[in-house]
Amino acid sequence: MKHEISYSIINLDKPAGMTCREIDELVKNKFGCKKTGHTGTLDFNATGVLIVCCDETLKAMPLLIGMNKEYEGSIYLHKDVPLKLIRKTIKDKFTGIIIQIPPVKSRVARKSRKRNIYSFKILKKKQKNLYFRAKVESGTYIRKLASDLGKELGTGAHLKTLIRTRVGPFLLKDSVKINKINKIIPIEKALKYSKKVYVKKASLEKIRHGAPINQKDISRKSKTKTGEKVAIFYKNKLIAIGIAKNKSLRIDRVLKVRE
């Protein structure tokens, strides 16, 4: 597994009480990786799906970032209000395209940005506690969603618990615990739904030197848009990440040749 981990990812069930960086370091030490990193940060006390990349798979992170996410959790209202009003407010103000400003402690610029809330459902209400399930666009801050809901209701509210149940095709039920990492996912399988280009053997050397590839280098490909990140394969192995141009692909990152 030590060699395979460099070309694999881990669908990990993040425990509460650890930062994502601490988990990266734990995985790095456990498998003797040179580098590790994660996609889609979860708060210290949040749990659930965290995708950890190791060594060469870090180069494929641009293809793993930006996937839709699903959550379950609870919100605590500072004042009690009727469930009917809460559901109406969510339907009117917090479903579909919304404007969200990242929270103060976020690492991104606090500028207004659009995010798509595909669904936001209250599963049940128990006094001031709301239990919810939400499917959202990548980059949506659930903690801010909770506080904005409380502001709109005029009561105030904060996120109490949070579990990430899905990141793109990666499900919580398929994840592994931090103390029992017994399953890794080959990067090729992890990129099952990514845009792909398959190249000819004669093109391998130019790709390894970072030279652009064009139609004559390609044996098969997905339909792509200009500027889109693409997984470049030779046979059944990921060899590089490219950026689609009008009639060519610019090489962005090249994976080391596997032994």
Q: Has residue 220 got a pLDDT over 90?
A: no
> How many H-runs (helices) and E-runs (strands) does the chain carry?
6, 17
Q: State the CATH class of domain 196-254.
A: mainly beta
Domain spans, the chain: 4-66+169-190, 69-167, 196-254
Give pLDDT, residue 110: 73
Q: Has residue 65 got a pLDDT over 80?
A: yes
Which active-site residues does the annotation give?
Answer: 43
Q: Has residue 2 got a pLDDT over 60?
A: no
Q: Has residue 42 got a pLDDT over 70?
A: yes
pLDDT in tens, 225-258: 899 999 999 999 999 999 998 888 999 999 998 7
Using alpha carbons, list the distances in angstroms from residue 244 to 53, 192, 223, 236: 23, 18, 10, 20
Q: Has residue 1 got a pLDDT over 70?
A: no
Which DSSP string corresponds to 52-79?
A: EEEGGGGGGHHHHTT--EEEEEEEEESS
Give pLDDT, residue 107: 64
User: Please, are residues 231 and 238 in contact by the beta-carbon 8 Å criterion?
Assistant: yes
**CATH tag, 4-66+169-190:** 3.30.2350.10
Give pLDDT, residue 4: 86
Q: Once rounded to an integer, what is the mean pLDDT over residues 45-50?
A: 97
Least-confidence region, from 1-10, 53-62, 118-127, 158-167? 1-10
What CATH number matches the domain at 69-167, 3.40.250.10, 3.30.450.90, 1.10.10.60, 3.30.70.3190? 3.30.70.3190
* Both tokens assigned to 83: 């469930």
